[in-house]
């Protein structure tokens, strides 16, 4: 696997999703998960797809890919 360099940048994520029983009082509550940015070890609990995308996008937008306020 290539490492992040001046010419090549990589962001690696481990995403784990699981299906939870539906609580009918909370619409859309069926998938949960965690996402880890491998290079930093930063982890986020996922309660909706938008949260996953936001977490990953924050790292992708970071020009240095070495730090991110998530």
Per-residue model confidence as pLDDT tens digits over 14-66: 999 988 777 677 666 677 899 999 989 999 999 888 889 999 999 988 755 45
Please give the residue that has the higher pLDDT: either 5 or 19: 19
Output the six-digit token pair for 26.
């909370």
Looking at per-residue confidence, does 53 or 8 come out higher?
53
Asked whether residue 45 is assigned to any structural domain, the reply reads yes
Q: 48 in a domain, yes or no? A: yes
pLDDT confidence band for 70 (50 / 70 / 90): low
Q: How many residues does the chain have?
A: 70
Higher pLDDT, 67 or 40: 40
31 near 16, Cβ under 8 Å? no
The H or E element spanning position 15 is strand 13-19
Considering the entire predicted model, what is its pTM? 0.67
Q: Are the C-beta atoms of 11 and 60 separated by less than 8 Å?
A: yes
Domain residues for 54?
A: 13-58
- Domains contained in the chain, number: 1
Residue 63 included in any domain: no
Residue 17 counted as domain residue: yes
């Amino acid at each position: 696997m290539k490492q992040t360099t001046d010419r090549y940048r990589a962001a690696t994520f481990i995403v784990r999703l699981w299906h939870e029983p539906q609580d009918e009082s909370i619409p859309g509550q069926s998938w949960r998960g965690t996402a880890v940015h491998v290079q930093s070890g930063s982890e986020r609990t996922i309660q909706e797809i938008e949260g996953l995308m936001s977490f990953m996008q924050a790292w992708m937008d970071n020009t240095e890919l070495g730090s991110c306020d998530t």
